[in-house]
Every structure is written in C-alpha cells, then in structure tokens.
C-alpha cells in the first residue's frame, strides 16, 4: 500500500500536468494568432510532453494498485499582452511544477517510499531541463526579439522542434 499522502499528491500531479498541457496549448494558440508558427510549434510539442507526464503519473498509480481520481482541468487564465509575457509565464510555470515535484519527493522521503523516490528521479532531472529550456528561450528573445529578421530566424529555429516520447517508460 502506498502512503495516502504520497498517492494523493501524485493524483493531484496528474491534474497539474494536464493543466500544464492546456496552458502550453494556449501559448501555442497565442503564437499561431501572431503568425509565429515556429513558436506555436514549440509550445504545441511542449503540450504533448505534458500529456506524457500526466500519463506517467497515472500509470504509476495504477501500477501500484492505487485508484486514480480524475479532477477538473482549469481554464488557462493567463493574459499575454506581448511575446515575452508568454516566455516569462512558461518559466514561472516550470518553476512552480518543480516545486510540486520536490514536494512529492519530500513526502516520499518522509515515509521512506524509496520506489516513488526512484520514480521521481526522472522528473527531478526533467524539471532541470524544462527550466533551462525556458531560460534559454528568454535569453534568445532578449537578444534577438526586437529585430524582425532575427525574430524570423528564431521562429524558423523553433519550427524544427520535433516530438519525442519520454525516455521514462513504466
Ligand atoms: Mg511536466
């Protein structure tokens, strides 16, 4: 039997990851409207990754005989007045998700749930990469975003991102 606090947090995390997918889809939508389809591609693939994360937490609970309770997914409520608002919101959101993962890890550590700690190791690393990617995009935008030609090239670069399934399988 899994510790009830640990399983409850993981159950909530399914919802948080699905909300993340929703949020990134809204960001993709923003950039599609702007005519920056490369940025839109970047965030659409990000949304796909978040759905994968949700499924990993979902599968992990089921593999451990825990009942999953699917919760309502909130409407993305962030308002983006300019491109940089989106990039900043993405970084802030990833920092928030990192805090959630850390919180689950802390709870698993407290009850000596070593299996969950090992499962979460992948997500700890993944969050480091997510934050680094979000930071890098902000830096590029700061450097090149004000020049139309450079923005065009950055948009082209982001259009080349392709989806790949998570390296963690359960
Ligand atoms: Mg995620």
The one-digit pLDDT tens for each residue of the chain (170 residues) are 899 999 999 999 999 999 999 999 999 999 999 999 999 999 999 999 999 999 999 999 999 999 999 999 999 989 999 999 999 999 999 999 999 999 999 999 999 999 999 999 999 999 999 999 999 999 999 999 999 999 999 999 999 999 999 999 89
Helix (H) or strand (E) holding 56: helix 37-63
Q: How many domains does the chain have?
A: 1
Rounded Cα distance between 120 and 117, Å, is 5
Ligand 1 centroid to residue 50 C-alpha, Å: 5
**Structural contact between residues 89 and 78, judged by C-beta atoms closer than 8 angstroms:** yes
| Residue 43 lies inside a defined structural domain of this protein | yes
| Residue 97 lies inside a defined structural domain of this protein | yes
| Residue 167 lies inside a defined structural domain of this protein | no
Ligand 1 centroid to residue 148 C-alpha, Å: 31
| Residue 74 lies inside a defined structural domain of this protein | yes
Ligand 1 centroid to residue 20 C-alpha, Å: 7
Backbone torsion region of residue 112, taken as left when φ is above 0, otherwise alpha when ψ lies between -120 and 50, otherwise beta: left
**Structural contact between residues 84 and 141, judged by C-beta atoms closer than 8 angstroms:** yes
CATH number assigned to the domain comprising residue 78: 1.20.1260.10
| Cα–Cα–Cα angle for 42, 39, 139, rounded to 5 degrees | 95
Domain region containing 31 = 4-159
**Global confidence as pTM:** 0.96
């Amino acid at each position: 039997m899994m510790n009830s606090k640990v399983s409850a947090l993981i159950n909530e995390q399914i919802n948080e990851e699905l909300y993340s997918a929703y949020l990134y889809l809204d960001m993709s939508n923003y950039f599609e409207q702007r005519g920056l389809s490369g940025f839109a591609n970047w965030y659409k693939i990000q949304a796909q990754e978040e759905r994968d994360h949700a499924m990993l937490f979902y599968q992990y609970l089921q593999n451990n005989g825990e009942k999953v309770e699917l919760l309502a997914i909130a409407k993305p409520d962030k308002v983006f007045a300019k491109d940089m608002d989106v990039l900043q919101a993405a970084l802030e959101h990833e920092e928030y998700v990192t805090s959630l993962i850390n919180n689950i890890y802390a709870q698993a550590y407290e009850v000596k749930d070593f299996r969950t700690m090992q499962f979460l190791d992948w997500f700890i690393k993944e969050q480091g990469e997510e934050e680094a990617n979000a930071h890098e995009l902000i830096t590029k935008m700061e450097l090149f975003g004000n020049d139309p030609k450079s923005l065009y090239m950055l948009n082209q670069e982001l259009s080349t991102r392709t989806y790949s399934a998570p390296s963690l399988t359960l």
